[in-house]
Amino acid sequence: MIDVSEEVYSSLRQTFKGDLLCPRDDGYEEARLVWNGMVARKPGLVARCADVSDIQSAIRIASALGIVTAVRCGGHSLAGFSTCEGGLVIDLSRMRQVTVDPAARRARFAGGCLLGSIDNATQKEGLVFPSGVVSHTGASGLVLGGGTGWLTRRFGLSCDNVEGFTMVAADSSIVRANAKENADLFWALRGGGGNFGVVTEFEVKLHPLKSVVLAEGLTAESDIRRLLEHWRDFMAGAPIDLKWNIDLRIAPTTNSIPPSLRGRSVAGSSIIWTGDPDAGHTTMQTALALCHPDSVSSKIISFLDLQTMADSAFPHGRRYYTKSGYFNYLDDGTIDRCLDALVTIPSPETQIELAYLGGAAGKVSADATAFGDRSAPFIMNLLANWSDPADDENHISWIRSAFNQLRPAMKPGVYVNFMSGDEQDRVPEAYHQRWDRMVAVKTHYDPKNFFRLNQNVLPRASAQRSE
Ligand SMILES: Cc1cc2nc3c(=O)[nH]c(=O)nc-3n(C[C@H](O)[C@H](O)[C@H](O)COP(=O)(O)OP(=O)(O)OC[C@H]3O[C@@H](n4cnc5c(N)ncnc54)[C@H](O)[C@@H]3O)c2cc1C
């Protein structure tokens, strides 16, 4: 058996400019960890690359030695794909450069950026890149899988705002992908995840935005059914400036929660208005009234506050498990099943997350990118969040049971970034009509499936990369 750390380390160390961390090194314990505490693997070597040539060297050597290799940006893969047992981790966390061109409303960012790195740089110019809702999430994994967030309805998915990628392919060559160069790869990288190579740079469109209106409401158990019925109907005609997410959960016993709701099942509404606050006033008031809220607040907040307000709710190192799906319509039976699941929810941090997509994201045609189905506007994510390994079985079985109850009403398809590690059988479902094109692009750029720690698309067995 190959000793990964020694073989790869001794091959890389002469030329590698970044950090090479083996199990014996100080800093290895911290470097091996990923966000999901359920995934506690021990790679043989973490190669923290300083630049593109480090990435090329790592790929060349690992590929030649046949070593299982993970690629890590923010380490937030719910499935734990950015680490491995005994293999190599190509860690991009030293590559967080962001360059903004305010006049052109464009940015370039490196493959190791967290969402916060991009937000901080673009906000200096009063601009935004539409991304996710937790600033410590990695941008590469999020954008390559699609990328939904507060601005999805207004400006589209993150991947819809990418104009070009630079990637190191499995043969260690550098490939550019945009509308004119390698258009098939450009298509596949917008939703196809980490299947094709290591993306070292993203070229993206930006939009002017400095603040939003945020309204939050807590709805007591007895009114949740009414809230969900109103929400599904209201969102079908809502302006694209409005994003309204709902979490079904147990209210914590903290001072910020009205005493009458503490420890009880609630629906938490977070409603964002991204347009002119005065123009949105009536719509926001209508939405809030539909919450029948026991607790409500409304304020203007900066974009940076919006992007960091959920950070502490999803800390590194806790245990997480998820399952997700789309609905064309949230019918009464589905609402019943959500409410049934809420009765047995295993912990206060666990939640049923509901969002309505549509808007600008829904207008992009189904075959324009590899991203999954855009026609089903309701997306649900069942997310268990706990700390004690003794509670694993309880949380995982609750998610599986709730998912099995809800699945018959779901539209086939799944957002790859919300999948757990035991769902590889759903990857063809995620790409359904786009499957053959995904396989063709995978076969061209990664014929031996070197990049396999992802929502994996297998290359055709006999194909070789044509030059
Ligand atoms: C707290 C939290 C909040 C989230 N919020 C949102 C949200 O609001 N919206 C949303 O859409 N998703 C969200 N997600 C899901 C998120 O999009 C995925 O977990 C995503 O994979 C995270 O990206 P990462 O770079 O941190 O992951 P990593 O674990 O580093 O990598 C994930 C996958 O991407 C691959 N990869 C990483 N970097 C590269 C690269 N440079 N080139 C090629 N492949 C690469 C990896 O090999 C792996 O397969 C959230 C996840 C968490 C944990």
| 18-64 per-position pLDDT tens digit | 999 999 999 999 999 999 999 999 999 999 999 999 999 999 999 99
What are the CB-based long-range contacts (under 8 Å, 24+) for 226-230?
A: 226/292, 227/267, 227/269, 227/290, 227/291, 227/292, 228/267, 228/330, 228/335, 228/338, 228/354, 229/332, 229/335, 230/290
The alpha carbon of 118 and the centre of ligand 1 are apart by a number of angstroms equal to 15
Q: Does the beta carbon of 455 sit less than 6 angstroms from any atom of ligand 1? A: no
Q: Residue 166: which of 214, 200, 205 has the closest Cα?
A: 200
Q: Does the beta carbon of 81 sit less than 6 angstroms from any atom of ligand 1? A: yes
Instruction: Name the H helices within 164-254.
Output: 183-189, 224-236
d(CA 326, CA 375) in angstroms, rounded, equals 9
User: Which residue is closest in CA terms to ligand 1's atom 13?
Assistant: 132
Atom of ligand 1 nearest to the CA of 314: 1
d(CA 82, CA 163) in angstroms, rounded, equals 25
Does the structure show a pLDDT above 80 at 430? yes
Question: Distance of alpha carbon 366 from its chain centroid, rounded?
Answer: 20
**Looking at per-residue confidence, does 295 or 142 come out higher?**
142
pLDDT category, 2, cuts 50, 70, 90? Answer: low
* Mutate-to-test residue for ligand 1 from 417, 441, 456, highest number of ligand atoms within 8 A of CB: 417
pLDDT category, 242, cuts 50, 70, 90? Answer: very high
Atom of ligand 1 nearest to the CA of 133: 8
Atom of ligand 1 nearest to the CA of 200: 41
Does the structure show a pLDDT above 80 at 5? no
The alpha carbon of 322 and the centre of ligand 1 are apart by a number of angstroms equal to 14
d(CA 210, CA 304) in angstroms, rounded, equals 8
Query: Do the beta carbons of residue 342 and residue 265 sit within 8 Å?
Result: yes
b/e 164-202 (16+ beta carbons within 10 angstroms → b): bbbbbbbbbeebebbeeebeebbbbbbbbbbbbbbbbbb
Q: Does the beta carbon of 73 sit less than 6 angstroms from any atom of ligand 1? A: yes
Q: What share of the chain is helix, strand, coil (3-state, %, to 5)?
A: 35, 25, 40
Q: Does the beta carbon of 202 sit less than 6 angstroms from any atom of ligand 1? A: no
Q: Does the beta carbon of 324 sit less than 6 angstroms from any atom of ligand 1? A: no
pLDDT category, 445, cuts 50, 70, 90? Answer: very high
Q: Does the beta carbon of 74 sit less than 6 angstroms from any atom of ligand 1? A: yes
Q: What is the pLDDT of residue 256?
A: 84
The alpha carbon of 278 and the centre of ligand 1 are apart by a number of angstroms equal to 36
Q: Residue 98: which of 47, 144, 56, 140 has the closest Cα?
A: 140
Looking at the chain, the whole-number percentage of residues with pLDDT higher than 90 is 90
Question: What is the SS3 string spanning 371-431?
Answer: CCCCCCCEEEEEEEEECCHHHHHHHHHHHHHHHHHHHHHCECCCCHHHCCCCCHHHHHHHH
Q: Does the beta carbon of 72 sit less than 6 angstroms from any atom of ligand 1? A: yes
Q: What is the pLDDT of residue 316?
A: 97
* Mutate-to-test residue for ligand 1 from 49, 88, 140, 323, highest number of ligand atoms within 8 A of CB: 140
Does the structure show a pLDDT above 70 at 467? no
| Average of per-residue pLDDT across 231-243 | 96
Identify the burial level of 429 via C-beta atoms within 10 angstroms of its C-beta, where 0-12 means exposed, 13-18 middle and 19 or more buried. Answer: middle
- Match 């937790």 to its residue by tokens: 134
Q: What would the two tokens of residue 181 be?
A: 């160069």
User: Which residue is closest in CA terms to ligand 1's atom 8?
Assistant: 132
Tell me the DSSP string of 91-106.
E-TT---EEEETTTTE
Residues 10, 70, 308, 267, Cα dihedral to 10°? -150
Q: Does the beta carbon of 321 sit less than 6 angstroms from any atom of ligand 1? A: no
Q: Does the beta carbon of 144 sit less than 6 angstroms from any atom of ligand 1? A: yes
Q: Enumerate helices (H) and strands (E) in the chain, giving the number of each.
A: 15, 18
Tell me the DSSP string of 141-162.
HHHHH----TTHHHH--TGGGE
The alpha carbon of 72 and the centre of ligand 1 are apart by a number of angstroms equal to 9
d(CA 439, CA 433) in angstroms, rounded, equals 12
User: Nearest-5° angle of CA 227, CA 229, CA 233?
Assistant: 115
Q: Residue 171: which of 70, 84, 64, 83 has the closest Cα?
A: 64
Q: Is the pTM of this model over 0.75?
A: yes
Radius of gyration of the chain (CA): 22
- Fill in the amino acid letter for 124: K
* Mutate-to-test residue for ligand 1 from 59, 81, 115, 142, highest number of ligand atoms within 8 A of CB: 142
Q: Does the beta carbon of 206 sit less than 6 angstroms from any atom of ligand 1? A: no
Q: Does the beta carbon of 454 sit less than 6 angstroms from any atom of ligand 1? A: yes
List, in sequence order, every residue forming a beta bridge with 381; answer none if it has no partner: 324, 353
Looking at the chain, the whole-number percentage of residues with pLDDT higher than 70 is 98
Element (H, E) at 1: none
Q: Does the beta carbon of 198 sit less than 6 angstroms from any atom of ligand 1? A: yes
Q: What are phi and psi of 363, to 5 degrees?
A: -85, -15
Q: What is the pLDDT of residue 3?
A: 67
The alpha carbon of 114 and the centre of ligand 1 are apart by a number of angstroms equal to 10
The alpha carbon of 421 and the centre of ligand 1 are apart by a number of angstroms equal to 13
Q: Does the beta carbon of 138 sit less than 6 angstroms from any atom of ligand 1? A: yes
Atom of ligand 1 nearest to the CA of 36: 53
pLDDT tens digits, one per residue of 281-320:
889 888 888 877 777 778 999 999 999 999 999 999 999 9
- The mean of the pLDDT values for the chain is 95
d(CA 380, CA 377) in angstroms, rounded, equals 10
